[in-house]
Amino acid sequence: MAKINLKERKNLEKKISAKKVIIPAIIGLFVVFGMLYFQIKGKNLSFNAVNFTYITAIFLFIAVLMMILRDIGYMWRFKILSEHKVSWFQAFRVIMLWEFASAISPSAIGGTSVAVVFVYKEGISIGKSTAIVMATSFLDEMYFLVMFPVMVFTVGPETLFTIGDISGLNFTNEFFYFAVIGYILKFIYIIFIAYGLFINPVIIKKTILAIFSISPLRRWRTDARRAGLDIISNSKELKKKPFMFWLKTGFATVISWTSRYWVVNAVFVAFFAMKNKHILLFARQLVMWIMMLVSPTPGGSGFSEYIFSEYLKDFMPQVVGIAIITAFIWRLLTYYPYLLAGVIIGPKWLGDKFRRERTGNSHLQISDKS
């Protein structure tokens, strides 16, 4: 039986605290308004080049639908990986909390560190929860690793990385530099995950035990050892999964990430005249997300807006401030909703899952049965 005591609850509350929403929100707004101020200083801000028609409303609505489809894809994948042991509502709750944790954590870390707890508290064993989170990370990173070279080949490396007067393939191009670093990090990470999940899960067990050998975490070393053994067991199960299982999870992953990228395409159609540039715009977004991996700020706040406004500016009219405003609209659709969802869902979820502790129990027990 695994135990989650009151101290662990408080640690989790700190990690997903609503107070942490303030930091990325302030960083994002500060960067947006700071860049906007310096761009329009002493100049006239004009929206004459922007189309405000019924098409605007339609495609902004489509952008929202793309985000909903993205979350449905994530929920469907989670249900498949959990072997349908969770309801759609549970899947929704886990995904929202996971995205919230990612939104308030540095991009390179994401919400993976607490995602295991979210899955576990929905009644999945700790080992299986860890395997699900690792499989999710594996599928996400595989999407990037496969799609990146496909897009480079499709649109051409020079076209992909040449922005305005900045030439493409050289390390004086900051966009190329960030993309290469991000891709290398993802490649290293996916090798570790793939090796641990499908070849030698013992290495993951040893990694977990090494982490829980650190003094502040040593008290949970026994549970960590049990989790490591469960991962080995669940790794064997994952390796036995039929081709259709991986086809479904892979398809759900493609739906999720592709839908998220098409949000930008929809926003651009809503405001600008797009002339057969959708594939290039899609490819640029793929590179942009790889760049965002190196951001040290929570959820990429500030850095994401900067990359968006600079790397995608060729698709927008050369009007003062328009790229920054468009970047802000994009973040309003793809980032801030998860901050809001976490603030709404998080406290109730914590209260429900740890209610027994408040009524006098020192810990909550959940069966480790897979």
pLDDT tens digit string along 77-111? 999 999 999 999 999 999 999 998 888 877 655 66
What's the pLDDT tens digit per position in 320-353?
Answer: 678 888 888 898 899 889 988 888 888 888 777 7
Q: Which two tokens stand for residue 111?
A: 């919400």
Query: For residue 3, is pLDDT > 50?
Result: no
pLDDT confidence of residue 228 = 66
Residue 369 pLDDT level (bands cut at 50, 70, 90): very low
Q: Domain locations in the chain?
A: 2-41+50-358
* CA 4 – CA 158 distance, rounded (Å): 52
Mean pLDDT across the stretch 12-32?
71
Longest CA span, the chain: 66
231 pLDDT more than 80: no
Q: At 280, list the tokens.
A: 């290039």
pLDDT band at 15 (very low <50, low <70, confident <90, very high): low
Which of 333, 312, 37, 13 shows the shortest CA–CA distance to 163?
312
Query: Do the beta carbons of residue 126 and residue 230 sit within 8 Å?
Result: yes
Provide the whole-model pTM: 0.80
Q: How many residues does the chain have?
A: 370
Q: How confident is the model at residue 357 (pLDDT cuts 50, 70, 90)?
A: very low
Confidence check: pLDDT of 2 > 60: no
User: How far from 233 is each of 35, 136, 367, CA to CA, in Å?
Assistant: 51, 17, 16
3-state secondary structure of 163: strand
Strands 2-5 and 363-366: antiparallel
Give pLDDT, residue 1.
35
